[in-house]
Structure formats: C-alpha cells, structure tokens
Amino acid sequence: MKSFIPTPSHSAVAFGPFTIHFYAICILVGVIAAMVIGRTRYSRHGGNPDEITDVAIFAIPAGIIGGRLYHVITSPQRYFGSNGHPLDAVKIWDGGMGIWGAIALGTLAAYLSFRSRERSLTFAQFADALAPGLLIAQAIGRIGNWFNGELFGGPTQLPWGLKIPPELRPVGFEKYATFHPTFLYEGLWSLICAIALIFLTKRWGTQPGNLFLAYVALYCLGRSGTEYLRIDQAEHILGLRLNEWVSLLGLIFATFTIYLRHRKYERGIITL
C-alpha cells in the first residue's frame, strides 16, 4: 500500500555553520500564534494586551523547561539507560516535549508573573483568553513531530497511514511500513477543541476559569485516545502508559471542578 503521508526525508536545514531544525520552527510558530490569539481575545474582554507579552517572557521559557523535564523524567531509559546518552536530554530540537510539564510549569510561572503587579483583568480571565491559542500552538507543534518521524501509533493499512523509514521503526515492528499518524490525530483534535472553546467563550463568560478547565478536559480526552494507539517506549503503571493515567486524571479533575464551580455559581455561593 502506498502511504498517504510520507515521513519527510529531512528534519533540518543547514545554512553554513548554522542548523535550523523544523521541530524548533514549529514550536516557535506555535508560540507566536498563541500570543497573537491570546492578545486579541484578552483585549476584546477589556484587558491590556501588553500584559500577555509581559507574562509570556516568563511563562514560555518555563513551559519549555517543564515540558522537557517531564519528557526526560518519564522516559529515563532513553537518556540514562544502558544505551542512553545523558547529554541528549538537553537536545530539545530532536523532539520530546511533555505537554503536562509544559502546562504545569508554564501556568505556575504565568500565575506568579501575573500576580506580581496590578492587572486589568483577573488571572482566570487571562487563562481563558489564552486557552484556544494554546490548543492551536499544540496543533502546530505536532507538525514538528512529523518532521522528526516520531510519536506515531501502531501499524495500520488505512489510506492515511504514515510511512516510516526502516531505521525509525520500533523494535518488533520492523516488518511494518505504515503506522497510525497519532501526532496528526492529536493536532486535528486540538484544532477542533480550539474552535469549540471559541464558541463556548460567550456562554461561559460569566464564569472565568471554566474555559481553561474545559481546555484541560478536552485535551485530556483526546490525548487518552492517541496514547492508547502509540507504540513508542513509555513507562507503564498497571498496564497503562503513564500519559494515559495523567490524561484520565486530568479529565476527571477538570470536569469535576467545572461541575462544582457551576453548582456553586448557580446557588450564589461564589462570585466568579
């Protein structure tokens, strides 16, 4: 079967002594998209868009560091195992960013920076304004995984199967040529969720913070599905990949929190 999606033959381009990695470009474009969308949405809600830029100076580096730390910690054999290379842990351009670490450390840095001075809106409104843009950034970032020939699922004969070169096929799957493009599934899901959040903005505008929680819940729902399909090396707990557990817990936490906040809001217990 001819693959509908070929794996790019190059993941970087060299200009003299400089090498530009397409994965890094995708991350950069995603960050820019998230900032532009976030500034626009924040401004429409009466906020000063410059506050998005001020916070991003701290949140973006923290998110990158958090994402890489999560990836390295949850994939220790790749870097510190018998055949691992510890110095590869800092080679972000080769791929490997754990979204959970990026969200956790990036959100913490954003919160601390946001609360460091008086702002035009609340942090909950700030987070809601950023949510759709973050999903679009994640979708763009997944294109980088395509260039690196990584994060694909099990073998498939579907017409959109991804053709993986022999040298990139996992051990035990050498005889298969086409695999599920799980990075594409996740990217498309992220775009769908971004559109859904934009439509939910007006409905949940009276409950700041719920939109960001919806972002977490929706992403976790889709991620649990793509994790189930993936075959790359990962830590397992009780038969499930670690990221499957994180996705399920994130989905339950975000959904239950939205429910509780909505109930309290209806009863007038809290003012959101």
Separation between Cα atoms, residue 113 and residue 31, nearest integer Å:
18
Is residue 145 situated within a structural domain? yes
If residue 179 lies in a helix (H) or strand (E), which one and from where to where?
Answer: strand 178-179
Is residue 272 situated within a structural domain? no
Return the amino acid letter for 196.
A
Is residue 192 situated within a structural domain? yes
Q: Six-digit token pair at 115? A: 């609360």
Q: Return all residues near 69 (Cβ < 8 A) that are at least 6 apart.
A: 98, 101, 105
What is the DSSP code (8-state) at residue 8? P
Helix axes 210-229, 123-148, angle to 10 degrees: 20
Separation between Cα atoms, residue 153 and residue 182, nearest integer Å:
6
Of 136, 145, 110, 107, nearest to 25 by C-alpha is: 145
Separation between Cα atoms, residue 115 and residue 97, nearest integer Å:
27
Is residue 82 situated within a structural domain? yes
- In this predicted structure, what is the pLDDT of residue 203? 72
Domain assignment of residue 98, given as a range: 5-169+177-266
Say if residues 84 and 77 touch (Cβ distance below 8 Å). yes
- In this predicted structure, what is the pLDDT of residue 51? 95
- Mean pLDDT split into 10-residue runs, the chain, 272 residues: 78 83 91 95 94 94 88 75 70 72 92 93 94 96 92 92 92 93 96 94 77 95 93 83 91 93 70 46
- In this predicted structure, what is the pLDDT of residue 272? 44
Is residue 271 situated within a structural domain? no
Of 25, 27, 38, nearest to 133 by C-alpha is: 38
Is residue 15 situated within a structural domain? yes
The total of structural domains in the chain comes to 1
Cα 36–chain centre separation: 17
Is residue 55 situated within a structural domain? yes
Instruction: Using the structure block, give the residue that is written with the tokens 């401004």.
Output: 43
Q: How many CB atoms lie within 10 A of CB 228?
A: 15
Is residue 42 situated within a structural domain? yes
- In this predicted structure, what is the pLDDT of residue 86? 74
Taking CB atoms within 8 Å and a gap of at least 24, the contacts of 198-203 are 198/132, 201/41, 201/128
Q: Return all residues near 190 (Cβ < 8 A) that are at least 6 apart.
A: 135, 136, 138, 139, 142, 219, 222
| Number of residues that make up the chain | 272
